[in-house]
Amino acid sequence: MSRFLNVIPVADAVAEVIRISPSPVTETIPLESSVGRILAAEVTADSDIPGFDRSVVDGFAVRAADTAGAGDAIPALLHCTGRIAMGRQDTTGIFAPGTCTYIPTGGILPEGADAVVMVEYAEEAGDMVLVKRPVSYGENVLLYDEDFKKGECVFSSGRRISAQDAGVLAACGCAAVTVAKKPVVGIISTGNELIPVTGVPGPGQVRDANASMLAAYLTEYGCTPRIYGIIPDERQAFEAVLARAVPECDVVLLSGGSSKDDRDMTAAVIATMGEVLVHGIAIAPGKPTIIGRISDKPVFGLPGHPASAFVVLIAIVRPLIDRMLGVPHPIQRTEKATLSINIPSQRGRDEFVRVTLKNGTATPLFGKSGLLNTLVRSNGLIRIPAGAEGLEQGSTVEVILW
């Protein structure tokens, strides 16, 4: 008989995770340090952008009608009335028909002009300019408020700020942005066999791979990881580290010891210090997963195998982080691909299969569950939902890219 009597579906586990998610906390930070952060409020344009009709090339401001039919053989001949200085309004008066003015890129289009001829198609001859190409109305001009209108929503909340977003936010006058606070996630590695990365494994020992992997993922995802190191499979050690980590963090992840073997301590310790809400999820890999709570802080017990811990991080922990960050959809890259062979799967559990991706074809990388190499030889994961008996060769799958 299974040691896991109360294995629950992934959807139920995620619902439980969402139920116990702390609400997003916000903070206001300078724009220049906002890349990667999640906007916690809508941003609207504080003014019309641009606030004036603006040339987008170096050239001559004209009335488009004056250039009709112009060509190399018979150029349009326009009287040049001067040069427009950058950032200055032209004050020379009415822009008369048959005239033009030199205008730099970004210059304010003089009133009466409606297009700009690029310098490449114009030739200066004394105070005349020979225009060798016709321009149409509005050509080479960015019109008033064409980019953003005052009050228009530029970004919705939940958006991850990219480098180009920062540029647009600056143009909209946002020197500071309100973003979700980075959740502080405690990471505890458990197991008598574990040694630090700097150690040399003796018989039966393995280096702690999970702490670095979980911390790296969480950092990239917008959290502040806090590594508490390795603790042995001893009750007092578990209690001591949790007593430190829970008050210091918003969420705590323990890896290892989450199963139901006698030496697995995690569930019993969480139950003593708080409550175990879920122990066992219909997910492969990752069945021996614990969702619990201590002093209202979510505490997860992840399986020790790095590949299993990683899948549980993505499938079960990430929805909590998404809630805390206020993102409506997981921040992940995916790519559609065609499956190269049939993949059988056991009904009743969500299965995550590592695949390689080449020229739009996904090929599963089967391997023993403890292997590390399949984590890095693969390009991502595909999910076989609990209701399916497998996936057929030739079907379209979505690959969650690493």
Greatest Cα pair distance, the chain, in angstroms, is: 98
Answer whether 131's CB lies under 8 Å from 121's CB: yes
Phi, psi of 316 (to 5 degrees): -115, -45
Angle between helix axes 210-221 and 318-325 (nearest 10 degrees) is 30
Phi, psi of 119 (to 5 degrees): -55, -30
Question: Residue 15, Cβ neighbours under 10 Å: how many?
Answer: 12
Return the residues of window 114-133 that contact Mg ion according to CB under 5 A. none
**Which of Mg ion, ligand AMP, none does 21 bind, CB closer than 5 to 8 A by kind?**
none
Q: Is 322 in the site for ligand AMP (CB under 6 A)?
A: no
Q: Is 206 in the site for ligand AMP (CB under 6 A)?
A: yes
Return the residues of window 342-381 that contact ligand AMP according to CB under 6 A. 370
- Which range in 111-119, 271-279, 297-305, 375-383 contacts ligand AMP by CB under 6 A? 297-305
Q: Is 305 in the site for ligand AMP (CB under 6 A)?
A: yes
d(CA 100, CA 123): 12
Q: Is 107 in the site for ligand AMP (CB under 6 A)?
A: no
**Which of ligand AMP, Mg ion, none does 67 bind, CB closer than 5 to 8 A by kind?**
none
**Which of ligand AMP, Mg ion, none does 208 bind, CB closer than 5 to 8 A by kind?**
ligand AMP
Q: Is 286 in the site for Mg ion (CB under 5 A)?
A: no
Q: How far is the CB of 195 from Mg ion (least distance, A)?
A: 13
Instruction: For ligand AMP, give the closer residue by CB, 255 or 345.
Output: 255
Beta bridge partners of 29: 177
Q: Is 194 in the site for ligand AMP (CB under 6 A)?
A: yes
Angle between helix axes 235-248 and 266-273 (nearest 10 degrees) is 60
Q: Is 289 in the site for ligand AMP (CB under 6 A)?
A: no
Instruction: For Mg ion, give the closer residue by CB, 107 or 256.
Output: 256
Q: How far is the CB of 191 from Mg ion (least distance, A)?
A: 4
Q: Is 286 in the site for ligand AMP (CB under 6 A)?
A: no
Answer whether 42's CB lies under 8 Å from 155's CB: yes
Segment holding 210, helix H or strand E = helix 210-221
Phi, psi of 261 (to 5 degrees): -75, 160
Instruction: For ligand AMP, give the closer residue by CB, 303 or 364.
Output: 303
- Which range in 54-62, 81-89, 278-286, 298-306 contacts Mg ion by CB under 5 A? 298-306
Q: Which two tokens stand for residue 368?
A: 């023993």
Among 183, 225, 256, 303, binds Mg ion (CB under 5 A): 256
What is the per-residue binding string for ligand AMP in 238-257, x denoting contact by CB under 6 A? -----------------xxx
Total residues contacting Mg ion by CB under 5 A comes to: 4
- As to burial, measured by CB atoms within 10 angstroms (0-12 exposed, 13-18 middle, 19+ buried), residue 6 is exposed
Among 158, 191, 286, 298, binds ligand AMP (CB under 6 A): 191
Q: Is 193 in the site for ligand AMP (CB under 6 A)?
A: yes
Q: How far is the CB of 159 from ligand AMP (least distance, A)?
A: 34
DSSP state of 315: I
Q: How far is the CB of 272 from Mg ion (least distance, A)?
A: 18
d(CA 257, CA 56): 63
Q: Is 285 in the site for Mg ion (CB under 5 A)?
A: no
Q: How far is the CB of 266 from ligand AMP (least distance, A)?
A: 9
3-state secondary structure labels for all residues of 65-117:
HHHCCCCCCCCEEEEEEEECCCCCCCCCCCCCCCEEEEECCCCECCCCCCEEE
Among 66, 208, 250, 322, binds ligand AMP (CB under 6 A): 208
Sequence-distant (≥ 6) Cβ neighbours of residue 132 within 8 angstroms: 70, 71, 72, 75, 121, 122, 123
What is the per-residue binding string for Mg ion in 188-217, x denoting contact by CB under 5 A? ---x--------------------------
d(CA 401, CA 60): 50
Alpha helices in 99-209 (DSSP H): 163-171
Residues lying near Mg ion in the complex (CB under 5 A) are found at 191, 256-257, 304
Q: Which residues bind ligand AMP (CB under 6 A)?
A: 189, 191, 193-194, 206, 208-210, 255-259, 303-306, 370
